[in-house]
Chains A and B, each alone.
Chain A
Amino acid sequence: MTYTLIYGLTIGAILYFISIGLSLTFGTMRVINFAHTLTYTIGVYALITLLAALRGYFTAAAFLAILVVVPISYVIERFVIRRLYGESLDYTFIATFAISLIGVDTIKWIWGVNPYPLSDPIGKYITFLDMSFPVYRVIIFSIAILLFLVLNIFFKRSIVGKIVVAALEDKDGVRCLGVNVDRYFSFVFILGSALAALGGVLYAPISSVHPYMGLSILLLSFAVIIVGGMGNLKGTFYSAFALGMVMAITARYWSQGAETMVFIVMAITLIFRPIDV
């Protein structure tokens, strides 16, 4: 049971990293970003290349991989997402899906379609009460908690964070105060993409790496933001861990049903509390 708990917390942490950007993008710009996990995939592939170049320094490679994502996400925001403000949701869906098609194909072009093996960069286990768990999973979970606290402080204390939170509530109101909202949105988008890349970089060693890895996790993070409430930062945190636990517990008894259970939870949430967007 403890293993299930650890597994659930890891998945929850990864889902949190990825969903936070999706939730922010939706909350501020009203754009459902299908291309969100593209940055996640790009981060992982950048990590693979950088690991080879840096001869295995995982932390440095991970950090650089996240930096690689920043300019790419800026280009996506500047040339596609920004044109979609105020458009009907259908077109934002389709345009961002188009970006993810282009991105996945580019990845296939550069790195090929074959899955890459990546191993746990620490590979140590800690023993606690006669049970041993991988240190790596514990680290992932700790980073998630740390990130949650940092983001909380960021959104409550810093002026940039306050503007973003205000824009989540009322975009036009903030604009009326003379704030150039678009610049902050662009920042939020890049932040979200970088966090998705962080999630990818941390998750890649304990999952499989292939060009389509983003799509399946994208569906899961959609479920997270729907259950947690779109644009609700705290809700995203709780629902990410709750759904992570749902996945872990389902996987314990019925391994193939894990992802489906998440969608069942999402469907039930939508039945009882539909979102009008």
Chain B
Amino acid sequence: MEANQLKKISTELTISESKNREWLTFLIIMGVFLILAPILSVHRITDFMIFCIFALSFDLLYGYMGRLSFGHLLYLGTGAYCAGLFLKYINPHPLLAILIGIASATVLAMILGFVIVRTTGACFALMNLAFNHIGFFLVLSPLRTITNGEDGFGISTVPESFLDFGSRPIMFAFTLFCLLFVFYLLRKLTSAPYGVLIRSIKEDENRVRFLGYNTFIYKWITFVIAAAIAGLAGTLTALNYNFVNPNVMDVHSNVGVVFACLIGGAGNLYGALAGGIIYMIISNFLPIYIQRWEMFLGISLLIITFRFRKGVWGYIQSQFAFLNKKKMLISPVPEEGSK
């Protein structure tokens, strides 16, 4: 019994993998996108990677902390709009705009987080939905004079030494770098004691509180981190299209990222990556062949919820369970919850 539990913990945590293995993972992720790029056009793949960044941030919130948000696009939209407006009105330097975009999403999440994080379950999802709706409305109507309402606005950037975001390959390389960085960061975070803690909050928040942790702070921090990464994804979207319009934070598009997370397997960073790619392929190419692609999306969501909870990555893991066993032999069981 105990051995089983330990095994479970060690396979889930993947804490102490050798450095070589880490590099191998990065190389594989890079390889996948580099192979896909010439097949599906560089611009599209950049879009895929941005969505993967967004899916990773959503996975931190939903998969790891167990809080389903139906308004995570608010932070992506905030990032995109703030970066875009900064580029348009103040300063055309893209790197500065990226920082501004991330900072704005972070600050917004810091403020809203105080209220939102107190709730759980359906309430959490609906609160996010409500705030997303308000944000969507704000850019659409009261801020029309600067955001240009439904039509959106174009942005132009000046090249910053070698970083010319107008050129597709450089945009691609930069996004890939961002994706790997976010992936690295989230992997470090989720395998640290902090990651164990937020997963424990998902399982049973009261027990974590009884252990003496201030769960509110941890939930708030997770919320803010997820929002900051979503803000990064937003600025990259703005830079990739050189254009910002209210669609970036359309309330109804939130289902996409939920779907991506579930199909890949929630609570797993590889799952989020796989889900992001699969969702983008489905939403980009399926409408060309099947007119009723929303129905396809709905039916596959139903199948996932009833039969296929672990998603694609969970399936792969269960098929290749021997890989995990090997890992178990290499890695000593980590001390759980140590601070």
Contact = CB atoms under 8 A, between A and B. Distances in A.
17 contacts: A88-B121, A89-B121, A95-B301, A95-B305, A97-B258, A102-B299, A105-B294, A106-B295, A108-B294, A256-B137, A260-B133, A260-B137, A267-B115, A267-B131, A270-B126, A274-B118, A276-B121
B337 interface: no
Contacts of A226: 123, 126
Q: Closest 8 CB pairs between A and B?
A: A101-B298, A98-B301, A102-B298, A105-B295, A263-B130, A105-B294, A98-B298, A90-B68
B121 A80 contact: no
A101 B301 contact: yes
A32 B302 CA distance: 15
Interface string A195-222: 0000000000000000010010001001
A93 B68 contact: yes
A266 interface: yes
B305 A91 contact: yes
Nearest to B127: A270
Contacts of A95: 301-302, 305-306
B146 interface: no
Contacts of B298: 98-102, 105
A259 B118 CA distance: 24
B155 interface: no
Contacts of B66: 90
A221 to B, nearest CB: 11
B134 interface: yes
B73 to A, nearest CB: 14
A75 interface: no
Contacts of A88: 121
A92 B120 CA distance: 15
Nearest to B130: A263
Interface of B: 62, 66, 68, 70, 115, 118-123, 125-127, 129-131, 133-134, 137, 140-142, 251-252, 255, 258, 262, 292, 294-295, 297-299, 301-302, 304-306
Contacts of A260: 133-134, 137
Given A83-B306, A93-B125, A274 B119 contact: yes
Interface of B is mostly: helix
B295 A263 contact: no
Interface of A is mostly: helix
A223 interface: yes
Contact of A277 (B120, B130, B258): B120
Interface of A: 32, 80, 83, 88-91, 93-95, 97-102, 104-106, 108-109, 212, 215, 219, 222-223, 226, 256-257, 259-260, 263-264, 266-267, 270-271, 274-277
Contact of A80 (B137, B294, B302, B304): B302
A90 B66 CA distance: 9
A168 B123 CA distance: 19
A196 B125 CA distance: 23
A276 B134 CA distance: 23
Contact of A267 (B121, B127, B142, B255): B127
Contact of B134 (A104, A108, A264, A275): A264
A32 B122 contact: yes
A220 B225 CA distance: 30
Contacts of A94: 258, 262, 301, 304-305
Contact of B119 (A100, A102, A109, A270): A270
A222 B132 CA distance: 14
Contacts of A105: 292, 294-295, 298
Nearest to A97: B255
A274 B122 CA distance: 11
A78 to B, nearest CB: 14
Nearest to A106: B295
Contacts of B292: 105, 109
B115 A271 contact: yes
